[in-house]
Amino acid sequence: MIRRLTEQDDSSCQILLSKKPAENLFIIGDIENFGYEQDFQKLWGDFTEDGRLKAILLKYHNNYIAFAEEEFDAQGFANIINTDREFKQLSGIAAITDQVLPFIAHSHKKSRSLHYAKCEDSRKLDQNIDTSKVKLASIHDVPRLVTLQDKIEEFEQDDSRESSIRKSLEQKSARIYFVEKDGEMVSSASTTAENSMSAMIVGVCTHPGYKKKGYASACMKQLCNDLLAEGKMLCLFYDNPEAGTIYKRLGFEDIGMWTMHIYEDVPQPSSL
């Protein structure tokens, strides 16, 4: 049986989601930040006959994410999505989204798949990496981080990047670790979407003139040490096999593919 979830269902949600905190990073964070009664955020649950929650569907603005630990009513979740004219994207672990996809009635536009990896044990981190030069950034360091990221070819140019990073730091949903040389930030690794159980690693980069010196690995290790000590599981996306090799050497392990399926805008009824 599928029904809307409310605050009264929170304990059941936490029991289900805490079993896979990395896979559920976005759902956990959105519940902690926005709850169950926002106009832009809604949640539904699929329950067993004896009332146990076995699957969750989250709507955050125009994006849907599903999670289940066992067989669930994929068509029922798709029926909810199909009635939403705001729907643009279905995201999540491929093993789950692949069950919902056949029932989506909207016109598909494009898809993207990324490797999804997690680290949950500090003992797996490379103990030979020197982190003595790694610092934790403050809001005052954000302009230097943006200057560094603007030098990275793989990073998209974004005029709103600085304000977005500032906001995340103020909300304590992100933190930044960096190495500097002669007053210039030359390497960095950051978190985003931090919640009580997990955090996403993003923005791992090194200035083109300082590569192959181990600075990014040092930032990553210090970041992992600190968050794992707080009991938070770490996760990240990657699509570059070379990057995957580096992350695995740091103690990360693949947990599946994360897929993002983008759909065409739904035609709105004309008003006469």
Tens of pLDDT, residue by residue over 42-84, are: 999 999 999 999 999 999 999 999 999 999 999 999 999 999 9
Longest Cα pair distance anywhere in the chain, in angstroms? 70
Asked, for residue 83, whether it belongs to a domain, the answer is yes
- 153/51 same-domain check: no
Q: Let me know: does 172 contact 194? Beta carbons within 8 Å.
A: yes
Domain count, the chain: 2
56, amino acid identity: I
Of all residues in the chain, what percent carry a pLDDT higher than 70?
A: 97
Strand order in the sheet with 233-238: 2-4, 41-47, 53-60, 63-68, 89-93, 253-263, 108-119, 233-238, 198-206, 184-192, 176-181, 135-136
Greater confidence, 146 or 269? 146
- 249/125 same-domain check: yes
pLDDT recorded at residue 272? 46
Q: How confident is the model at residue 115 (pLDDT cuts 50, 70, 90)?
A: very high
Asked, for residue 113, whether it belongs to a domain, the answer is no
- 69/123 same-domain check: no
- 145/86 same-domain check: no
Report how far residue 174's alpha carbon sits from residue 124's, in angstroms, rounded to the nearest whole number.
23
Q: For 145-151, which contacts have Cβ atoms below 8 Å and span 24 or more sequence positions?
A: 145/176, 145/178, 145/185, 145/188, 145/190, 145/203, 147/185, 148/178, 148/184, 148/185, 148/186, 148/187, 148/188, 148/205, 148/207, 149/188, 149/203, 149/205, 151/207, 151/208
Asked, for residue 59, whether it belongs to a domain, the answer is yes
Asked, for residue 188, whether it belongs to a domain, the answer is yes
Q: Minimal CA–CA distance to 252: which of 216, 212, 221, 211?
A: 221
Asked, for residue 262, whether it belongs to a domain, the answer is no
Q: What share of the chain is helix, strand, coil (3-state, %, to 5)?
A: 35, 30, 35
Return the half-sphere exposure (C-beta side, CA atoms, 13 A cut-off) of residue 13. Answer: 24
Report how far residue 160's alpha carbon sits from residue 189's, in angstroms, rounded to the nearest whole number.
19
- 162/82 same-domain check: no
pLDDT recorded at residue 126? 77
The whole model's pTM is what?
0.86
Structure tokens at 27: 């759902």
Asked, for residue 136, whether it belongs to a domain, the answer is yes
Structure tokens at 228: 């794992």
Q: Is the dihedral of CA 106, 109, 115, 116 positive or negative?
A: negative
- 17/97 same-domain check: yes
Asked, for residue 263, whether it belongs to a domain, the answer is no
User: Average pLDDT in the 99-109 region?
Assistant: 94
Out of 106, 140, 171, a domain closes at: 106
Out of 106, 128, 162, a domain closes at: 106
Report how far residue 167's alpha carbon sits from residue 182's, in angstroms, rounded to the nearest whole number.
27
- 89/139 same-domain check: no
Q: Which domain holds residue 153?
A: 119-255
Measured in degrees and rounded to the nearest 5, phi and psi for residue 171 equal -85, -5
- 51/123 same-domain check: no
Asked, for residue 18, whether it belongs to a domain, the answer is yes
3 state SS of 178: strand
- 135/251 same-domain check: yes
Structure tokens at 203: 């923005």
Model pLDDT for residues 230-246, shown as the tens digit of each residue = 999 999 999 988 888 88
Report how far residue 134's alpha carbon sits from residue 177's, in angstroms, rounded to the nearest whole number.
6
pLDDT recorded at residue 268? 57
- 43/167 same-domain check: no
- 184/133 same-domain check: yes
Q: Tell me, what CATH number does 243's domain have?
A: 3.40.630.30
Report how far residue 58's alpha carbon sits from residue 89's, in angstroms, rounded to the nearest whole number.
12
- 142/243 same-domain check: yes
Structure tokens at 62: 């125009």
